[in-house]
Structure 1
Amino acid sequence: MSTLSIRDLVVSVETEAGAKEILHGVNMDISSNETHAIMGPNGSGKSTLAYALAGHPKYTIDSGSVTLDGEDLVEMSVDERAKAGLFLAMQYPVEVPGVTVTNFLRASKTAIDGEAPKLRTWTKDLSQAMKDLRIDPEFAARNVNEGFSGGEKKRHEILQLELLKPKFAVLDETDSGLDVDALRIVSEGVNRAKETTDIGVLLITHYTRILRYIKPDHVHVLVKGKVAEEGGPELAQRLEDEGYDRFLVNA
């Protein structure tokens, strides 16, 4: 059993006008095999939380703590956080010209594990993961995210998740831009990863449609950089029915 613990997290982001505080004291505990949904209106700080956890240089943790199994993530570099077991599926995955998907994935796996995977096992695992995600085998020879559709980019993120097997996955609006079929396939990939590795999932989303496929254990409503309410799956349904107006009025 692993635990990702966030305590009194205050985060600022660099803007043209200087540093601006976005998160004002966020608290959360995510355990192995739990799914926590982070919901909230635009500009509430959801992606700021994701990038701060991953170590994006634009985001500064001003105070508070983030620990993974008791180890301080804040003091770790981005690659050290990944090796500790943290994974980020980005909302807008970037292109990496000149680097093929297969080379990128194997290099990532080697860096995370500290040794290269055995070629025969790796080839089998990669082939099966791509098949499960309905990815054409020729995809492996393409450059990372170069010319990919929105759905292909998101499937590639989940392909990484399944192969790298982190302890915790932060999924930043993985559902954005997906049609119904792609949403179902991506969700199946996340559920498969949970079933086989007991990962904890922090799922950031605006809408409840992905929560029909990936069932949350806990729902947190983030409004203006603070957790405004917490609950179980029933809270997501209430947000679907009522929206965020009641939080914005009182914020």
Structure 2
Amino acid sequence: MLQIDNLHAEVDGKAILKGLSLSLNAGEIHAIMGPNGAGKSTLGYVLSGRPGYEVTEGSVTFEGADLLALAPYERAAAGLFLGFQYPVEIPGVSNLQFLREALNAQRRARGEEPLSGGDFIKRARAQADALGLDPEMLKRPVNVGFSGGEKKRAEMVQMGIIDPKLAILDETDSGLDIDALRSVGAGINTIMRKPDRAVLLITHYQRLLDYVKPDFVHVLAGGRIVRSGGPELAHQLEAEGYADIAA
């Protein structure tokens, strides 16, 4: 599904990614771990097309297409979803309004009919119920006044409504208590653990992986993948840290 070959990227002239290669197949969940400053968030931003992140070498293909040649909105329409470490607030725009516009923009880009208001409300309420978010919160401005856990639950609802092919989740466990962590893990499993879906899960800690069992764990250090393994690698990192592996 996703093939990254020798990816180099820089921000403000500073090299961050330095030859990163990774292959992600449909039906797989891959966890990316690593020390601060290793390039984990940069990888997510480069894949999603965030301005200011310049690719200087290498290639990325998504379902056989050149991902780097697509604008950010085209990547979203192709099936990419980026979850943020710190979801932004959008005062004056309700979750329902935001999500309906986002979903129907993607449907139009794919040549599909937009959902009617009634059909969208049913879809949004079903996702909110499944992920433990009070449906009334969907009427509130995007993330305004939400706790950290509520923001992350709302983001899982967004992901469920959009129903992407590939979810790139950047430290989605940041700041979560145990209940919220369990809810987010359940959301990832419910929405994305499917034969035609895939997840790139960026995290510092092993704790989320207790709920989302990854197929592979990769250590990103110095701008490249330096080690890969199964879930047991995350437990090793939790116990021993990154010093020896990332050296």
What does residue 246 of structure 1 align with? Answer: 244
**Cα–Cα, structure 1 residues 120 and 193, in superposed 2: closer, same or farther, change >3 Å?**
same
Shift of 1:198: 3.4
Shift of 1:232: 1.0
Q: Distance in 2 between matches of 1:178 and 1:92?
A: 11
**Cα–Cα, structure 1 residues 106 and 196, in superposed 2: closer, same or farther, change >3 Å?**
farther
Shift of 1:32: 1.3
1:183 counterpart = 2:181: yes
**3-state SS of the aligned residue for 2:125?**
helix
**3-state SS of the aligned residue for 1:169?**
strand
Aligned length: 243
Shift of 1:66: 1.0
What does residue 101 of structure 1 align with? Answer: 95
1:74 counterpart = 2:68: yes
**3-state SS of the aligned residue for 1:64?**
strand
**Cα–Cα, structure 1 residues 152 and 11, in superposed 2: closer, same or farther, change >3 Å?**
same
Stretches of structure 1 that go unaligned for 5 or more consecutive residues are none
In structure 2, give the amino acid aligned to 1:104: F
**Cα–Cα, structure 1 residues 37 and 195, in superposed 2: closer, same or farther, change >3 Å?**
closer
For the 8 Å contact 1:165–1:197, the answer to whether it is kept is no
Deviation digits for residues 104-146 of structure 1 (CA, Å, limit 9, x no counterpart):
1111110111132133332222111101121112201111111
What does residue 167 of structure 1 align with? Answer: 165
Q: Distance in 1 between matches of 2:196 and 2:173?
A: 21
For the 8 Å contact 1:87–1:168, the answer to whether it is kept is yes
Q: How does 1:62-211 map to 2 (within 5 A)?
A: 62-114=56-108, 115-195=113-193, 198-211=196-209
TM-score of the superposed pair, with normalisation by structure 2: 0.95
For the 8 Å contact 2:27–2:194, the answer to whether it is kept is no
For the 8 Å contact 2:173–2:203, the answer to whether it is kept is yes
Q: Distance in 2 between matches of 1:97 and 1:118?
A: 24
In structure 2, give the amino acid aligned to 1:79: Y
1:27 equivalent among 2, 21, 24: 21
Q: Percent identity?
A: 51
What does residue 9 of structure 2 align with? Answer: 11
For the 8 Å contact 2:29–2:198, the answer to whether it is kept is yes
Moved more, 230-239 or 170-179: 230-239
**3-state SS of the aligned residue for 2:81?**
strand
In structure 1, give the amino acid aligned to 2:154: H
In structure 2, give the amino acid aligned to 1:25: G
For the 8 Å contact 1:8–1:25, the answer to whether it is kept is yes
Deviation digits for residues 178-222 of structure 1 (CA, Å, limit 9, x no counterpart):
000000001101100124573100000000000000001011100
Deviation digits for residues 222-241 of structure 1 (CA, Å, limit 9, x no counterpart):
01111110111111111112
Moved more, 113-122 or 172-181: 113-122
For the 8 Å contact 1:106–1:116, the answer to whether it is kept is no
Deviation digits for residues 14-69 of structure 1 (CA, Å, limit 9, x no counterpart):
2xxxx100000111111112000000011110000000100010211111111111
For the 8 Å contact 2:27–2:196, the answer to whether it is kept is yes
Root mean square deviation, CA, Å: 1.2
TM-score of the superposed pair, with normalisation by structure 1: 0.93
Q: Distance in 2 between matches of 1:98 and 1:152?
A: 18
Stretches of structure 2 that go unaligned for 5 or more consecutive residues are none
Q: Distance in 1 between matches of 2:174 and 2:63?
A: 31
**3-state SS of the aligned residue for 1:219?**
strand
**Cα–Cα, structure 1 residues 195 and 230, in superposed 2: closer, same or farther, change >3 Å?**
closer
Q: Which runs of 4+ in 1 moved over 4 A?
A: none
**3-state SS of the aligned residue for 2:41?**
helix
What does residue 49 of structure 2 align with? Answer: 55
